Chains A and B, each alone.
Chain A
Amino acid sequence: MLLKVISYPYLAHLFTAFSLIFFLVSCKGDIPPLEREEHDLPQDAEVSSTEPGNYGGVLVTAESQQPRTFNPLVAEDAYSSEAIGRFLNGLTTYHPIKEKVVPELARSWEISKDKRTITMELRRGVRWSDGEPFTADDVIFTFKALFDQRYPNRYMGQYTIAGEPIEFEKLDRYTVRFTTARPYSPFLYVIGFIGILPRHVHLEAYEQGELLQQWSVRTAMHSPEEFVGTGPFRVRSFRPGQRIVYEPNPHYWRVDSQGQRLPYVDYLITRYVQDRNTETVLFASGQIDIASITPGDVVGVRKNAPLHDYTVHHRGPATGIRFLWFNQKPGESEAGKPFVEPHKLEWFTSRKFRQAILHGLDREGLIQSVYFGRAELLHSIISPANERWHNPDVPRYPYDPDRALELLREEGFELDGNGDLVDSKGNQVSFQVYASEGDDITPQILSTFRENMRDLGIRVRIRYLDFGTLVARVSRHFEYEGAMMGFTGGADPSGGRAIYLSSGRLHLWNPEQEEPQTDWEARIDELVYASEETFDLEERVGYVHQMQEVFSEELPLLYLVTPHAYVGLKDRWENVRIPAMGSVIWNIDELYLGQEK
């Protein structure tokens, strides 16, 4: 009886509340189409070569992290840069299909005879999203800001060539001239990295020394209309930890062949989903339009394709590289302890030893067991995804334990009675490899490595460290024997300078050398500099190919495998062109909603 008395009204209320929620949720409806503002097209509008489409549609994407800032001078992570790229343009940009630099805010450019002066014609008639005209003053302002000592930023170093900051001057309202201390062929590529800032918006803050405080996540939350740009979109709203909503910039400078101003989509929404698995679930249940899919998830996600009309596209090898390497740094720590024990340093600096180790690792087996065949061997320091620069004809080291032992014997190593490998002085060969616990694939690769090395008579100990500790060990304390890591690759090899050059910060096996310590490192330095001085593309590619040959011959990095990349995309989007590397929706302004099939 008592049970009835208290539970009836109580349950009834609960029930009412729930049904009210369901009712309200069920009638929430769709996003209304956007009313577009009409503005004149700029004189130098760029006409898209793709098929003309229709306005409308909402494109929903997901990212695992939110932007930390919307200020290009502060941004140092890919997520912030991507958000900034939606509303700011550079002078040039990299076209991932044509695999070359194409004009963006600069309409055209001329390179002087001595290759040190680049004169850029700006696009005339372009307006900022608030209607103010874009001129050379904005470009000069941006470069002045990034070389201002009050505002440390990553571009300052990138735009310092042969120790000298690039010089820039305004010739007239629509012309700017850049001068570099030495000829520098990646110039046109790197000059596009920085989004050009609106002078009329930032001048006051710049003069007061507060430029780095501008355009933070706070601005995005409270007054996104302050983000004035020339890009395809402007920010409509930003909710930290949830999503950002972009709407088309009514002053954007690209049109289609029918004179319609791009972009076609009404809204672009990026949701922030911290967990990769959640992102996959969202895509497979039709809630987002696009997602990258890991090799292990491909089969599962494809099962749902007929339900939500999407396709999982194969993109070929991923752009990053993953490798093992040995510490080759001579010298000792402050405590007087050698970074690497002398006899081990002797092994690690031996080319044949490194080659033997790679011959001894069953990478083909890893591809089958870890990636289900959805990966391929990596042979070069530039991933095969980067077709323009990748050299397919470098020395290769397939799984061949006999060849490995042969190479080791040539270097004086012998197997003793217990099946252990010893060097010519009788030291037993063993080393320790550090790795970060980052993903579930690292341990699988390393345990195979340990087993394979055991077959060669080598004892390998594996220790997992926190990522920060690993970085500190390999880049500051140099107290390690072997380690495993990876890099995400960029489009132009100039992005890898810090790895290739012997003076580089990420020349991992022996960083920041004052003078190249080996002949082959000197050779690499030479090739890198040569490739940066020539403006002839074929010649540049030639140098970069040679550099890769040296790397694969000397093998300071023991390349592992490169997984294949997959991307899921809803079928309703037209004009999609998936490049080998970079963002799949790089041409977001050209995408439009096709007819329902």
Chain B
Amino acid sequence: MLSFIARRFLTMIPLLLGISVLVFILMAIAPGDFLDVARTQEDIPAEYIERMEEEFALGEPWHTRYFIWLGNVVQGNLGESWIYRVPVTELLWQRIPATLVLSALSIMFALCVAIPMGVLAAIYKDSIFDRVSSMFAYAALSIPEFFLALLAVMFAAQTGWFPTGGLSSVEHEFMSFWGRMADYAHHLVLPTIVLGMGSVASYMRIMRANFLDYIRSDFVTTARAKGVAEGRVMFVHVLRNAINPLVSASGFILATLLSGSILVENVMNYPGLGQLIFEALMRQDEFVVVAAVMMGCVMLMLGNLIADLLLAWSDPRIRLEKN
């Protein structure tokens, strides 16, 4: 088991190198640079801009800058954000908790809604419930997340039931502990639903399809023939088997949630990684962009690793070790 994990981590290294080179090339091809904003301000002196160009090595070709950066990374230094003048790692850590909470909640929300719905849709195949839930699933899959986010903001503004964005209200720091928790929860409801909606639909379809496969299998007929209660057949025997593909699919979801959250966080004004990455991209704050993209990759690979481990745990037929 340990050597399996170690192998997976080792394969990450060349991948991360390749991705960082790609990001540097893309940033070099992209027009303009970080100092464009300063250049158009009439009261910033030319000498200052020259000093900054020198300091950020903006005149150098991308490969020179890449190797400088790589040298620093090897020493454990991901560089400094040019916008904030703060180490990149520090900046990312400010935002990671908010995004992780949102992603985790969205996955939980998606699973809590999708599994029961998928199961019911399978059991009552071709019933009204199945039709309606399929329709819902297709609709949810085809609505882009940012549009859903806009609808959610409009909904919040119209009804006033939910805050129109953010993670906490202005009164937050003056509240009691439980008040703060409730405040967070209140703010998380809409972003969680928006971000989780797409996954609900796809999970539900996977769940339904697998459940249908297993309902028709022989062991179900055997169990029924033995006189096992219908509920037990469904929720112990069938569900246990049908859930495996869902576990492996959830490996990707961490990554898709991260990319989805860039849009959702910007529309819903949620102070997570997405907002930070978007700003860094627009301003071409190079080291932040590289670090953020690499972190996205690491999350994707960790997500897959965890999914594989979970699968091994939930399905005894799977072995990670070569014999």
Q: Which residues of A contact B (CB under 8 A)?
A: 2-3, 5-7, 10, 20-25, 27-32, 58, 60, 68-69, 71, 74, 76-77, 152-154, 156-158, 160, 212-213, 216-218, 221, 236-237, 239-243, 245, 269, 271-275, 278, 281-282, 285, 287, 465-469, 471-472, 475, 485, 487, 490, 495-499, 505-506
B42 pairs with A487, CB closer than 8 A: yes
> Which of A24, A158, A274, A465 is close to B43, meaning CB atoms less than 8 Å apart?
A158
Contacts of B164 in A (CB 8 A): 278, 281-282, 285, 287
Specify the chain B residue showing the minimal Cβ separation from A492. Answer: B43
With A2-B231, A273-B269 in contact, do A152 and B86 touch (Cβ < 8 Å)?
no
With A2-B230, A2-B234, A241-B275 in contact, do A472 and B85 touch (Cβ < 8 Å)?
no
Specify the chain A residue showing the minimal Cβ separation from B119. Answer: A6
B123 pairs with A466, CB closer than 8 A: no
Contacts of B269 in A (CB 8 A): 241, 272-275, 278
- 8 A Cβ contacts from B215-264 to A: 230-231, 234
Specify the chain B residue showing the minimal Cβ separation from A215. Answer: B85
Q: Mark B36-64, 1 if CB is under 8 A from A, else 0.
A: 11111111111111011001000000000
Interface-side segment among B1-9, B132-140, B169-177, B292-300 = B169-177
> Which of B39, B48, B120, B271 is close to A242, meaning CB atoms less than 8 Å apart?
B271
B36 pairs with A472, CB closer than 8 A: yes
Specify the chain B residue showing the minimal Cβ separation from A28. Answer: B179
Give the interface centre of A28, A31, A152, A505 by most chain B CB atoms within 10 Å: A28
Specify the chain A residue showing the minimal Cβ separation from B167. Answer: A242
- 8 A Cβ contacts from B67-119 to A: 83-86, 90, 94-95, 98, 116, 119
Taking the nearest CB of chain A, how far is it from the CB of B28, in angstroms? 13
With A269-B170, A273-B165, A468-B32 in contact, do A152 and B52 touch (Cβ < 8 Å)?
yes
Taking the nearest CB of chain B, how far is it from the CB of A228, in angstroms? 19
B171 pairs with A77, CB closer than 8 A: no
Task: Say yes or no: is B157 at the interface (Cβ < 8 Å to chain A).
Answer: yes
| Cα-based distance from A466 to B234 in the complex (angstroms) | 57
> Which of A158, A472, A487, A496 is close to B45, meaning CB atoms less than 8 Å apart?
A158
With A218-B90, A468-B36, A469-B31 in contact, do A154 and B45 touch (Cβ < 8 Å)?
yes
> Which of A240, A243, A499 is close to B95, meaning CB atoms less than 8 Å apart?
A240
Interface-side segment among B16-24, B183-191, B203-211 = B183-191
A217 pairs with B45, CB closer than 8 A: no
A154 pairs with B183, CB closer than 8 A: no
Could you give 5 example pairs across A and B, Cβ below 8 Å?
Answer: A24-B185, A28-B182, A157-B46, A237-B173, A505-B39
Specify the chain B residue showing the minimal Cβ separation from A30. Answer: B171
> Which of B42, B49, B116, B165 is close to A499, meaning CB atoms less than 8 Å apart?
B42
The 8 closest A-B pairs by CB, nearest first: A468-B32, A157-B45, A241-B271, A24-B182, A469-B31, A152-B51, A468-B36, A495-B43
A495 pairs with B42, CB closer than 8 A: yes
A221 pairs with B94, CB closer than 8 A: yes
| Cα-based distance from A5 to B179 in the complex (angstroms) | 34
Task: Say yes or no: is B181 at the interface (Cβ < 8 Å to chain A).
Answer: yes
B116 pairs with A28, CB closer than 8 A: no
Contacts of A221 in B (CB 8 A): 94
A469 pairs with B275, CB closer than 8 A: no
Taking the nearest CB of chain A, how far is it from the CB of B271, in angstroms? 3
Contacts of A5 in B (CB 8 A): 231
Contacts of A216 in B (CB 8 A): 84-86
Extra A-B contacts (14), CB below 8 Å, given A68-B85, A236-B173, A471-B40: A6-B119, A6-B120, A76-B41, A156-B47, A158-B45, A213-B85, A241-B95, A241-B272, A242-B166, A274-B266, A275-B266, A466-B32, A472-B31, A498-B42
Task: Say yes or no: is B168 at the interface (Cβ < 8 Å to chain A).
Answer: yes
| Count of chain B residues near A, Cβ 8 A | 69
A271 pairs with B85, CB closer than 8 A: no
| Cα-based distance from A3 to B234 in the complex (angstroms) | 12
Give the interface centre of B46, B55, B85, B98 by most chain A CB atoms within 10 Å: B85
> Which of B86, B165, B272 is close to A218, meaning CB atoms less than 8 Å apart?
B86
Specify the chain B residue showing the minimal Cβ separation from A471. Answer: B36
Specify the chain B residue showing the minimal Cβ separation from A466. Answer: B31
B42 pairs with A506, CB closer than 8 A: yes
Contacts of B199 in A (CB 8 A): none
| Cα-based distance from A156 to B45 in the complex (angstroms) | 8
> Which of A6, A154, A487 is close to B44, meaning CB atoms less than 8 Å apart?
A154
Specify the chain A residue showing the minimal Cβ separation from B162. Answer: A25
Task: Say yes or no: is B289 at the interface (Cβ < 8 Å to chain A).
Answer: no
Taking the nearest CB of chain A, how far is it from the CB of B212, in angstroms? 15
A467 pairs with B183, CB closer than 8 A: no
| Cα-based distance from A486 to B185 in the complex (angstroms) | 43
> Which of B42, B157, B160 is close to A496, meaning CB atoms less than 8 Å apart?
B42
Specify the chain A residue showing the minimal Cβ separation from B275. Answer: A241
A471 pairs with B32, CB closer than 8 A: yes
- 8 A Cβ contacts from B105-161 to A: 116, 119-120, 123-124, 129, 153, 157, 160
Task: Say yes or no: is B309 at the interface (Cβ < 8 Å to chain A).
Answer: no
Taking the nearest CB of chain A, how far is it from the CB of B100, in angstroms? 15
Q: Mark B295-314, 1 if CB is under 8 A from A, else 0.
A: 00000000000000000000
Contacts of B179 in A (CB 8 A): 24, 27-29
B84 pairs with A68, CB closer than 8 A: yes
Task: Say yes or no: is B197 at the interface (Cβ < 8 Å to chain A).
Answer: no
Contacts of B46 in A (CB 8 A): 157, 498, 505
> Which of B36, B52, B157, B267 is close to A275, meaning CB atoms less than 8 Å apart?
B267
B183 pairs with A25, CB closer than 8 A: yes
| Cα-based distance from A103 to B160 in the complex (angstroms) | 46
B40 pairs with A506, CB closer than 8 A: yes
Taking the nearest CB of chain B, how far is it from the CB of A159, in angstroms? 10
Contacts of B123 in A (CB 8 A): 2
A152 pairs with B116, CB closer than 8 A: no
A60 pairs with B170, CB closer than 8 A: yes
Contacts of B169 in A (CB 8 A): 28
Taking the nearest CB of chain A, how far is it from the CB of B90, in angstroms? 6
| Cα-based distance from A71 to B271 in the complex (angstroms) | 22
Give the interface centre of B39, B95, B124, B189 by most chain A CB atoms within 10 Å: B39
Contacts of B202 in A (CB 8 A): none
With A28-B175, A69-B84 in contact, do A469 and B32 touch (Cβ < 8 Å)?
yes
B55 pairs with A152, CB closer than 8 A: yes
| Cα-based distance from A495 to B42 in the complex (angstroms) | 7
| Cα-based distance from A156 to B189 in the complex (angstroms) | 49
Taking the nearest CB of chain A, how far is it from the CB of B223, in angstroms? 16
| Cα-based distance from A471 to B44 in the complex (angstroms) | 15
B42 pairs with A468, CB closer than 8 A: no
| Cα-based distance from A153 to B52 in the complex (angstroms) | 9
Taking the nearest CB of chain A, how far is it from the CB of B270, in angstroms? 8
With A21-B185, A153-B48 in contact, do A468 and B31 touch (Cβ < 8 Å)?
yes
With A241-B95, A282-B164 in contact, do A21 and B153 touch (Cβ < 8 Å)?
no
Contacts of A23 in B (CB 8 A): 182
Specify the chain A residue showing the minimal Cβ separation from B116. Answer: A6
A498 pairs with B39, CB closer than 8 A: no
Task: Say yes or no: is B195 at the interface (Cβ < 8 Å to chain A).
Answer: no
Taking the nearest CB of chain B, how far is it from the CB of A341, in angstroms? 23
Specify the chain A residue showing the minimal Cβ separation from B278. Answer: A274
Taking the nearest CB of chain B, how far is it from the CB of A376, in angstroms? 22
Specify the chain B residue showing the minimal Cβ separation from A149. Answer: B51
Taking the nearest CB of chain A, how far is it from the CB of B44, in angstroms? 5
| Cα-based distance from A391 to B164 in the complex (angstroms) | 45
A74 pairs with B42, CB closer than 8 A: no
B182 pairs with A242, CB closer than 8 A: no
Contacts of A157 in B (CB 8 A): 45-48
With A278-B165, A465-B31 in contact, do A240 and B94 touch (Cβ < 8 Å)?
yes
| Cα-based distance from A158 to B42 in the complex (angstroms) | 11
Contacts of A160 in B (CB 8 A): 45
Specify the chain B residue showing the minimal Cβ separation from A465. Answer: B31
B39 pairs with A471, CB closer than 8 A: yes
Taking the nearest CB of chain A, how far is it from the CB of B236, in angstroms? 13
B231 pairs with A76, CB closer than 8 A: no
Contacts of A30 in B (CB 8 A): 171
| Cα-based distance from A31 to B173 in the complex (angstroms) | 9
